[in-house]
């Protein structure tokens, strides 16, 4: 089997596989979301306005560590109340990487702008915005402490105070603390503090609770993400739509939860050492509960909103004592080093698909080379050459087999003409020729089979890695994660694939030969919409394969000349 033919068919198969995966992401287990309806008279308040109620703990709960599964669940009704501006004052908080609005009502993050990530390259002063209160893109990160029924608590509906209206990370400072205070007027006081660090998108969340009342109080920490969603329709012409957008959790493995799935939309599980997140292409917001404590994770969907929450076990604060609660938040780009430092396995929000075990070391290699050369385009070229070098022994054996097949092509054609009416004799004659010339017709398979998983992994690395978002290469290629705007790289790739086809022995069947001549054109059309970095990888790989095969052909011809 010709090396080029196998490469083209496998590449086509890889592209079809990627489209199949995208289709499965979109359409498996579809189910209509719960209908949005106005609450009936006497119904519980909107979920965005309600909070979990603290559960009994200790002996009163019947267990030493009562998880939040025993708590009274929030109302299952979502509604537009959260979409309207809170009406309370906002704190403006600015670090070197984040520009936030934190509402004094609830102490929730109402707006998050990523100052170092422009929404588009042609509008560098318009940053990517994650959290916001716009009804069309509603996205809120809500946290608080839930109390016992009938008792006031510092929930995301409570009103806090703060000594300042603006907080800015000072030059030379490594940390910025934003304290918010709350009191029930009966001796229970809480200080809720956001801690931002220089260069980091992780945000520490600390609660200092002082019970100055005469009665014990029970509180439970919780965090939730309220977000507007729309059906994820994917387009072959827009690679960004191939990235998962929606809620995700980690228990002992990664789960992306599809809000249109009847099962996922009712997700409920008690998880220890997990996290919850809302994902989109290149960016994520996440809440990480403290390690070692069971939290009740739930997803609720209604209409065009979903609420993903985690509620911890209640803790009793005796009169005259204090307590601390802690959580971690993450609001920003999917920077794998920062995600991994924030929580174990949080870097899995960078979804490389089923071949993540290949994609992760591939990204590590790309990152290492990029630290040296400083350009992602040259990084892709260098790593492609290194991969080619690693597989050189396999490619060498394949190339020699292809060169020998090219050398005996006239004799093969003569055998085909002699036995064109007897397929059995034709097969025997061909096998005798292969045996005599020491040719393995399947020698070209293994190198190409090995390269296809690398090709698919390269695709997901280029698609998902925010480090390559809007990364320029040379001249007109100003974003390696997007398609070539002028289709120059795909045309060069198609030309290189055609040259490689001509360099190798032609298929014996004339019809098959015509099909294979047409395949580079098909591949050019299909890959024209792929990330230019991926096309650059395939172009580099093809050019290196041509150079290697040309050299092998010269060596085999020289060896044949010596024998004759």
Q: What is the 3-state secondary structure (H, E, C) of 141-170?
A: EEEEEEECCCCCCCCCCCECECCCCEEECC
Cβ atoms 548, 399 nearer than 8 A: yes
Cβ atoms 457, 358 nearer than 8 A: yes
Rounded Cα distance between 296 and 251, Å, is: 11
Closest CA to 11 of 542, 377, 553, 465: 542
Beta-sheet strands, E only, within 215-274: 217-228, 246-250, 254-256, 268-272
Classify the C-alpha dihedral 459-460-461-466 as positive or negative: positive
Torsions phi, psi of 20, nearest 5? -65, -45
- The reported pLDDT for the residue numbered 509 is 58
What percent of the chain clears pLDDT 70, i.e. is strictly above it?
74
Q: What is the mean pLDDT of residues 446-473?
A: 82
Cβ atoms 285, 330 nearer than 8 A: yes
For residue 284, what are the contacts with CB-CB under 8 A and spacing of at least 6?
277, 278, 330, 332, 333, 334, 339, 349
Q: What is the mean pLDDT of residues 484-492?
A: 92
- The reported pLDDT for the residue numbered 120 is 87
Check whether 358 has a pLDDT greater than 60.
yes
Torsions phi, psi of 335, nearest 5? -80, 115
- The reported pLDDT for the residue numbered 396 is 66
Check whether 81 has a pLDDT greater than 60.
no
Flag the least confident range among 121-125, 150-154, 395-399: 395-399
Dmax over Cα atoms in the chain, in whole Å? 105
Check whether 319 has a pLDDT greater than 90.
yes
Query: Where along the chain do the CATH 2.70.98.90 domains lie?
Result: 38-351
Q: What is the mean pLDDT of residues 414-423?
A: 74
Question: How would you classify the pairing of strands 90-94 and 98-103?
Answer: antiparallel
Closest CA to 6 of 504, 527, 354, 534: 504
Supply 172's token pair.
């030379």
The full DSSP string for 180-210 is EEEE-SSSEEEEEEEEEETT--EEEEEEEEE
User: pLDDT: is 45 or 379 the higher one?
Assistant: 379
- The reported pLDDT for the residue numbered 539 is 92
Strand partners, 94: 99, 168
Residue 101, helix vs strand vs coil? strand
Q: What share of the chain is helix, strand, coil (3-state, %, to 5)?
A: 40, 25, 35
- The reported pLDDT for the residue numbered 457 is 87
Quickly state the pLDDT bin for 426 (edges 50, 70, 90): confident
Q: What is the mean pLDDT of residues 75-99?
A: 66
Question: How would you classify the pairing of strands 283-288 and 322-333?
Answer: antiparallel
For residue 272, what are the contacts with CB-CB under 8 A and spacing of at least 6?
291, 292, 293, 294, 295
Quickly state the pLDDT bin for 287 (edges 50, 70, 90): very high
Is the CATH code 2.70.98.90 the one for domain 38-351? Answer: yes
Rounded Cα distance between 556 and 196, Å, is: 64
Cβ atoms 265, 30 nearer than 8 A: no
Pinpoint the alpha helices (H) of 185-284: none
DSSP letter at 265 equals G
Quickly state the pLDDT bin for 558 (edges 50, 70, 90): confident
């Amino acid at each position: 089997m010709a090396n080029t033919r196998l490469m083209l068919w496998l590449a086509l198969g890889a592209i079809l596989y990627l489209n199949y995966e995208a289709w499965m992401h979109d359409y498996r287990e579809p189910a209509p979301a719960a209908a949005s309806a106005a609450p009936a008279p006497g119904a519980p308040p909107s979920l965005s306005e309600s909070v979990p109620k603290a559960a009994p703990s200790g002996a009163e709960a019947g267990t030493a560590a009562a998880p939040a599964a025993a708590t009274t669940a929030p109302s299952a009704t979502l509604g537009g109340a959260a979409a309207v501006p809170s009406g309370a004052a906002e704190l403006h908080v600015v670090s070197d990487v984040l520009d936030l609005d934190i509402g004094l009502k609830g102490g929730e993050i109402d707006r998050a702008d990523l100052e170092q990530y422009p929404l588009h390259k042609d509008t560098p002063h318009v940053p990517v915005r994650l959290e916001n209160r716009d009804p069309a893109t509603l996205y809120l990160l809500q946290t608080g402490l839930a109390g016992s029924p009938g008792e006031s608590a510092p929930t995301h509906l409570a009103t806090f105070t703060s000594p300042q209206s603006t907080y800015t990370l000072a030059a030379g400072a490594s940390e910025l603390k934003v304290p918010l205070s709350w009191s029930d007027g009966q001796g229970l006081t809480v200080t809720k503090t956001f801690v931002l660090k220089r260069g980091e998108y992780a945000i520490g969340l600390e609660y200092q609770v002082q019970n100055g009342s005469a009665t014990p109080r029970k509180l439970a920490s919780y965090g939730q993400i309220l977000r507007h969603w729309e059906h994820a329709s994917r387009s072959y012409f827009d690679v960004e739509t191939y990235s998962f957008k929606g809620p995700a959790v980690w228990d002992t493995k990664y789960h992306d939860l599809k809000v249109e799935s009847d099962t996922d939309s009712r997700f409920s599980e008690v998880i220890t050492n997990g996290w919850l997140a809302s994902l989109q292409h290149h960016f994520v917001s996440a809440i990480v509960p403290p390690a070692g404590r069971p939290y009740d994770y739930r997803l609720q969907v209604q209409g065009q909103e979903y609420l993903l929450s985690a509620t911890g076990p209640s803790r009793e604060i005796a009169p005259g004592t204090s307590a601390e609660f802690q959580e971690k938040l993450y609001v920003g780009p999917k920077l794998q080093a920062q995600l991994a430092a924030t929580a174990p396995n949080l870097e899995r929000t960078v979804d490389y698909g089923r071949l993540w075990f290949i994609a992760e070391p591939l990204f590590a290699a790309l990152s290492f080379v990029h630290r040296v050369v400083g350009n992602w385009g040259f990084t892709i070229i260098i790593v492609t050459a290194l991969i080619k070098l690693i597989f050189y022994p396999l490619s060498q054996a394949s190339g020699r087999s292809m060169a020998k097949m090219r050398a005996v092509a006239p004799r093969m054609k003569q055998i085909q003409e002699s036995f064109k009416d007897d397929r059995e004799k034709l097969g025997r004659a061909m096998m005798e020729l292969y045996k005599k010339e020491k040719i393995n017709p399947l020698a070209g398979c293994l190198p190409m089979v090995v390269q296809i998983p690398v090709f698919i992994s390269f695709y997901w690395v280029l698609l998902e890695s925010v480090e390559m978002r809007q990364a320029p290469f040379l001249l007109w290629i100003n974003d390696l994660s997007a398609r070539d705007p002028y289709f120059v790289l795909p045309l060069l790739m198609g030309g290189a694939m055609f040259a490689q086809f001509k360099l190798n022995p032609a298929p014996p069947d004339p019809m098959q030969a015509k099909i294979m001549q047409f395949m580079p054109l098909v591949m050019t059309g299909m890959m024209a919409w792929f990330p230019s970095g991926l096309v650059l990888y395939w172009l580099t790989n093809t050019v290196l394969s041509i150079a290697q095969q040309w050299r092998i052909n010269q060596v085999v011809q020289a060896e044949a000349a010596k024998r004759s």
